[in-house]
Structure 1
């Protein structure tokens, strides 16, 4: 039997999955690593932690299965997007990685907009947002110039780990699209953007397709991971692109909803010239010469995690969600907006903050829990509406991640999004997408679509309830009004955040 491994390098942990030729997940393992927040708005990690935990996860995956290393044909990656890793000419990391959820770069975003103006959307196809990589590079340029002077190359998180495994540098198009340095439709680094900020072209790594072979394991890495030196290592892709592959979003009209730390609504896109005016993200897909359009809720699963940790730390997530089935749609007049770390779509606003509105003495923990889920889903609905306004027909949505783990939440998605929600039989999200890239790269299938047909199967479907849909339509209109009436208040409160 032959196998491939998908490695998903997330924000809080690395996950490895072992997949056979039928698409069955034989085993999985994860290892967590810390997140550093040295100042308000800062979010950093040690790249060495990613490497150590990835190797440990691979080793334990192999030990738990007792599968012969010779049966592992290849592995590939999914990675958290946008994170800045600066390395010198020897490959040494120069500073902690600045992550996607770091919001220190508002001033640098304004500088990008003022410098490039309309050219930014024409080239990078995305607005300048704090999460992206170019603002982070400009922050280092402004405050740590000596480090940027030492930098030979910038990499994204998974690309650094892959470099450490193979000794070779590369970055795939799907991840490069989130840097604001890529000419997205031209599929090359933008000289115009680099020159506008006096950045050397040499700082950008070679570009490859997500399924391209990037080498094999270094001998010492093979020994530490329990694999063989001739194990093939493929480029991999951005976590959202890999999540799309793992959900089978590989043809026009296919759409997914993913709830992780952040929340994503993503749809396959073939139209190069469609103009979303920066309202949503437009990125290269891991499928060759294809794109995906995407709206992001910054705090989706994180809103629920924060709520549980703050208000119900002693109960499990399953126990927390048990009571929501007894609460009617609308949580008895309680409304939550998930802006607890700012927002991305449709409001690119680092200063907006969340709120509970409508609290009264009759509201108990289940009301608040349901309101949190509804608020997260309302935010995802705003992205769905932007896609529909572009002419896309969205009547079916594949749900993956934390939002696919609870039946009541799945039904809520159907009712709020106004679409049939499909849950997959075996949902591994980005890790499965990474494994599928390895399987395709190894030649198991003639296309990623053929791989998806063999690996992915629907398990359950949730159909919108017309009465609940009507109720949520009214509540959604109220939800949409909250941003406008709390924006100024959030700005005024910002000086008290510390």
Structure 2
């Protein structure tokens, strides 16, 4: 029996899984690490903490493994996107990594738009200049830490740095590179035009690889430290959303996925890079070679529910909170919630907007508010779905993963608000299973991602839309879509008091 390891490098922890050649997860381990937020808007991590966490989880799994370590033949990755790791001539880290949720770079985003041009940037990268992307972070270091920038030889993203330490080979994988604002999506290469326009040396950009590219084997030192064999082959891996899509079976045309975690994502497979969404959704390379995906993001999805629970229902469990809403009819008796607690990404890209409860009256109970939060999160994700559908995509079936897939009531709500069949997975492991599947394909244990899906992804319960709820939610959604415009100026005025 042969085995592969999938490493999911998240924002709060690393999760490592061991999968056999039959597609079964047989062991897993996780290790948390610290997030540094020393100033408002700053969010950083120490890359060494990622390395320590990866080594710890592999050591834990190998310690329980009873077979021959040489039978663990491949390793791949899923990684948090956009984070900036700067390396010097010797490959040493120059400063802590600036993460995807760091928002210090508004001025640098404005600089990119001014120097490249909004429409030209969209034509090349398929994405607007947002604080979360990597290029604004590079420009921030260039402006505020010129001595550090002067020493920089390369930049990499989090999982690409971990792979570099494990193999000694420096590359950047395309599904992650697509989130830097430096990749020409249609040409499938770094954009000299963007780099020159903003004054970045293209030599900072490492060689590009695909998710299933074999980059080499483990270094003797890393193999010795973890108990693995130095013959273990290492593959490129993918961005966390790309790996989540792979692990959910979104590897061919016509497939879509919704993921509700701290943030929320609605993602759809694309065969070509030439559709025009006008920057309203993200357009990235997939982990599947020569394929793409489009994606809209709700910044405060599960975060909104967590905030509501901790603020107004601290003594209740999430299960108790959701159970309290079961008898509340669709529409929460005229109460609406917008989940803009930290701004919003899709479709507004507005860091100033904030959330609202609209329509409160004395008939509303705690349960009405809880249900309105669930509905508001799902309405926000429908904003992305409407962009897809208005472009001509016929989306009738959606895989649901994350926290929003763990509650039958919420799954039914997704079916009703999206007017689509919602599919729950039997064994959801998130991006880590996608990382394992990349290693299966890269190593040749399976011939294709389609075959990997057959082995690894099993559909569970299906939730079909209820016609009367669909009708109610369509009417309420029309009201929901008006709240942003009606509250935008109010939130801009209130910003001075935050």
Same fold (TM over 0.5): yes
Distance 1:315 1:64 in 2: 37
Task: Tell me whether 1:255 sits opposite 2:256 in the alignment.
Answer: yes
Q: Deviation string for 1:290-327 (max 9, x for gaps)?
A: 11111111121222223333333343322332222122
Shift of 1:377: 0.7
Matched residues, number? 497
Q: Deviation string for 1:4-27 (max 9, x for gaps)?
A: 111111111111111112211112
Aligned runs of 1:224-263 on 2, under 5 Å?
A: 224-263=225-264
1:347 corresponds to which residue?
A: 348
1:177 corresponds to which residue?
A: 178
Task: Tell me whether 1:305 sits opposite 2:332 in the alignment.
Answer: no
2:459 corresponds to which residue?
A: 458
- The alignment partner of 2:326 has SS state of helix
Distance 1:223 1:46 in 2: 23
Shift of 1:51: 1.2
Pair 1:8–1:145, CA change in 2 (3 A): same
1:436 corresponds to which residue?
A: 437
- The alignment partner of 1:399 has SS state of strand
1:71 corresponds to which residue?
A: 71
Task: Tell me whether 1:115 sits opposite 2:148 in the alignment.
Answer: no
RMSD, aligned CA:
1.5
Bigger mean CA deviation after superposition, 269-278 or 180-189: 269-278
Distance 2:163 2:280 in 1: 32
Q: Deviation string for 1:128-184 (max 9, x for gaps)?
A: 111111111111112111111111111111111111111211111110000000011
Aligned runs of 1:123-162 on 2, under 5 Å?
A: 123-162=124-163
Distance 2:225 2:383 in 1: 46
1:106 corresponds to which residue?
A: 106
Q: Deviation string for 1:268-306 (max 9, x for gaps)?
A: 112332111111111111111111111111121222223
Distance 1:360 1:32 in 2: 43
Aligned runs of 1:400-439 on 2, under 5 Å?
A: 400-439=401-440
1:390 corresponds to which residue?
A: 391
Aligned runs of 1:196-207 on 2, under 5 Å?
A: 196-207=197-208
2:334 corresponds to which residue?
A: 333
Q: Deviation string for 1:200-227 (max 9, x for gaps)?
A: 1211111000001122222222233232
Bigger mean CA deviation after superposition, 471-480 or 173-182: 471-480
1:360 corresponds to which residue?
A: 361
TM-score (norm 2): 0.97
Distance 1:306 1:221 in 2: 41
Distance 1:319 1:29 in 2: 29
2:279 corresponds to which residue?
A: 278
Distance 2:317 2:479 in 1: 31
Pair 1:346–1:63, CA change in 2 (3 A): same
Distance 2:34 2:291 in 1: 35
Aligned runs of 1:47-66 on 2, under 5 Å?
A: 47-66=47-66
Shift of 1:362: 4.2
Distance 2:50 2:367 in 1: 37
Shift of 1:361: 4.0
Shift of 1:356: 2.0
- The alignment partner of 2:293 has SS state of strand
Task: Tell me whether 1:19 sits opposite 2:12 in the alignment.
Answer: no
- The alignment partner of 1:494 has SS state of helix
1:486 corresponds to which residue?
A: 487
Q: Deviation string for 1:24-72 (max 9, x for gaps)?
A: 1112222111222222222111111111111111222233444442221
Distance 2:52 2:493 in 1: 43
Q: Deviation string for 1:225-262 (max 9, x for gaps)?
A: 23222211111011111111111111111111111222
Distance 1:420 1:231 in 2: 41
Distance 1:215 1:389 in 2: 44
1:194 corresponds to which residue?
A: 195
Aligned runs of 1:31-50 on 2, under 5 Å?
A: 31-50=31-50
Bigger mean CA deviation after superposition, 169-178 or 26-35: 26-35
2:5 corresponds to which residue?
A: 5
Shift of 1:399: 0.6
Q: Is the 8 A contact 2:116 2:198 kept in 1?
A: no
